[in-house]
Amino acid sequence: MIEWNDQQKMIRETVRKFVEAEIVPQLEELEHGDRPPYDVLRKMFKTFGMDELGGSRFDRQIAREEAGLTSKGEPQASKAEKKQPPSASDRADAAAMQLIPLIELSRFCPGMVTALGVSMGLTAASIMSKGTLEQKKRWARELLTLEKIGSWAITEPGSGSDAFGSMMSTARRTEDGGYLLNGNKTFITNGPYADTIVFICKLEEADVDPADRKVLTFVLDRGMEGLTQSRPLRKMGCHSSPTGELFLQDVKVDVDRLLGGSETGSGGRQGAKDTFSMERSGVAAMAYGIVDRCLELSVAYAKERVQFGKPIGEFQLIQDKLARMVVARMNIENMLFRFIESAGAGRGLSFAEASAMKLYSARAATEVALEAVQIHGGNGYMSEYQVEQLARDAKVLQIYAGTDEIQISAIARDLLAT
């Protein structure tokens, strides 16, 4: 793949028009006010039929699983599915279609992608990949149609990069076969408003070193006794994505809330790691949107702003910045093409490849956005100019979904192991 095909270009154009008509006029309230992004996202889902599509895809999958459960309780592909597996181009198109809304939204509102990505890409996806049939029916459908909003909570005040090693949140077995959950989570996207929360903690096991204890995942509902969701935290950027804290004090749950239905099927460390991999690929699409928009704004400003009697675009130092932005955009776009082609080939990216893509694209987006501010001079530092917002928004790409330093460790581990 060396360029977007005609259909993909057309879809990009359609999504762009929606963003310009429906989101840009509300940008001030979304980015500088306290307006949560969910109604606008729901409108986007409705406009493009994404809610119905998500619901009907879910219904088909559940019907297949119900019809094809093996004796072990594992879902089996139906006969129809075996006869007609999706072609490589269908798989590639599906991957491209997932990325396009993320790219187009990120040109104006990367925070909205964060809110959407955590609700669908992390919360719903972890329930769909690790949950029992009952759990999928109970929670995932309404997340996939965006009727409900989800949070995925692993980070704690004392455990970020070392998410499992320093985790303090606990699940204690109770005599009636349930669990008592305790702990504090922080920096949780959608935390203040989430209806459904995926909560990751450690089983209290006597005689086992805390670092080695089993990791368990539970699904919680807003309003449960003992669960408190904080107000949104104040932060540097991505204001259209509410971030908060969760406090759990003796939250009593039955085993039907344990993801996978048993301590061994709960996903554990591997379940959370699979989720990290998905997140990393999505960040590159966000970075591409930010870089694309910064370049567009910077070229326009370089042509229009006159100093020393000529447009600043005629100065070589400004041209150098524009040229570097083009290189960054080409590199990220090529990485996205590789991601799409790999999905078409049915193999996906390895953990190290996804880390490399995230590392490069997050750094490039931050550098490009800061250079866009530089090209805009004093205006670039003013909120009236969009590059100011994009520079604040871009920085988080180097922090969440694994910091740059953690991506480097993942790449190096893979490199040195072979």
Ligand X SMILES: Cc1cc2nc3c(=O)[nH]c(=O)nc-3n(C[C@H](O)[C@H](O)[C@H](O)COP(=O)(O)OP(=O)(O)OC[C@H]3O[C@@H](n4cnc5c(N)ncnc54)[C@H](O)[C@@H]3O)c2cc1C
The separation between CA 322 and the C-alpha centre of its own chain, rounded to angstroms, equals 29
Whole-number minimum distance, CB 116 to ligand X, in Å?
12
The separation between CA 377 and the C-alpha centre of its own chain, rounded to angstroms, equals 32
SS3 content of the chain, % helix, strand, coil (to 5): 60, 15, 30
Position 405 contacts ligand X (CB under 6 A): yes
Position 109 contacts ligand X (CB under 6 A): no
Position 359 contacts ligand X (CB under 6 A): no
In the list 189, 196, 281, 389, the residue contacting ligand X (rule: CB under 6 A) is: 189
Distance CA 297, CA 31 (A): 18
Rounded to 10°, the helix 268-304/351-375 angle is 30
Q: Specify the DSSP element, H or E, that contains 373.
A: helix 351-375
Looking at beta carbons only, is 153 or 325 nearer to ligand X? 153
Distance CA 165, CA 211 (A): 5
Distance CA 403, CA 359 (A): 8
CB-CB contact of 38 with 26 (8 Å): no
Considering all CA atoms of the chain, what is the largest pairwise distance in Å, rounded to the nearest integer? 81
By C-alpha distance, which of 387, 406, 242, 231 is closest to 305?
A: 387
DSSP 8-state code for residue 23: I
Looking at beta carbons only, is 236 or 327 nearer to ligand X? 236
By C-alpha distance, which of 90, 87, 85 is closest to 7?
A: 90
Position 218 contacts ligand X (CB under 6 A): no
Whole-number minimum distance, CB 409 to ligand X, in Å?
6
Distance CA 164, CA 216 (A): 11
Looking at beta carbons only, is 369 or 375 nearer to ligand X? 369
Looking at beta carbons only, is 145 or 241 nearer to ligand X? 241
In the list 55, 75, 160, 226, the residue contacting ligand X (rule: CB under 6 A) is: 160
Position 125 contacts ligand X (CB under 6 A): no
Looking at beta carbons only, is 86 or 157 nearer to ligand X? 157
In the list 152, 199, 339, 385, the residue contacting ligand X (rule: CB under 6 A) is: 152
Whole-number minimum distance, CB 219 to ligand X, in Å?
15
Looking at beta carbons only, is 188 or 357 nearer to ligand X? 188
Rg (the chain; Cα; Å): 22
Position 153 contacts ligand X (CB under 6 A): yes
In the list 8, 155, 355, 386, the residue contacting ligand X (rule: CB under 6 A) is: 155
DSSP 8-state code for residue 245: E
Position 188 contacts ligand X (CB under 6 A): yes
Looking at beta carbons only, is 282 or 402 nearer to ligand X? 402
Looking at beta carbons only, is 15 or 272 nearer to ligand X? 272
In the list 15, 118, 127, 294, the residue contacting ligand X (rule: CB under 6 A) is: 118
Position 328 contacts ligand X (CB under 6 A): no
Looking at beta carbons only, is 340 or 362 nearer to ligand X? 362
Position 161 contacts ligand X (CB under 6 A): yes
Position 238 contacts ligand X (CB under 6 A): yes
Position 403 contacts ligand X (CB under 6 A): yes
Q: For ligand X, which stretch binds (CB under 6 A), given 33-41, 66-74, 303-311, 395-403?
A: 395-403
Residue nearest to ligand X (CB): 160
By C-alpha distance, which of 200, 173, 195 is closest to 185?
A: 200
Quote the strand ranges of 254-321, DSSP E: 306-307, 310-311
Distance CA 112, CA 241 (A): 6
Distance CA 239, CA 107 (A): 15
108 φ, ψ (degrees, to nearest 5):
-125, -35
Looking at beta carbons only, is 22 or 34 nearer to ligand X? 34
Place of tokens 């704690």: 156
The separation between CA 6 and the C-alpha centre of its own chain, rounded to angstroms, equals 27
Query: Mask: binding to ligand X, 55-94, rule CB under 6 A, as x and -?
Result: ----------------------------------------
In the list 106, 119, 243, 298, the residue contacting ligand X (rule: CB under 6 A) is: 243
Interface with ligand X by CB under 6 A: which residues? 118, 152-155, 160-161, 187-189, 238, 243, 396, 399-400, 402-403, 405-406, 409
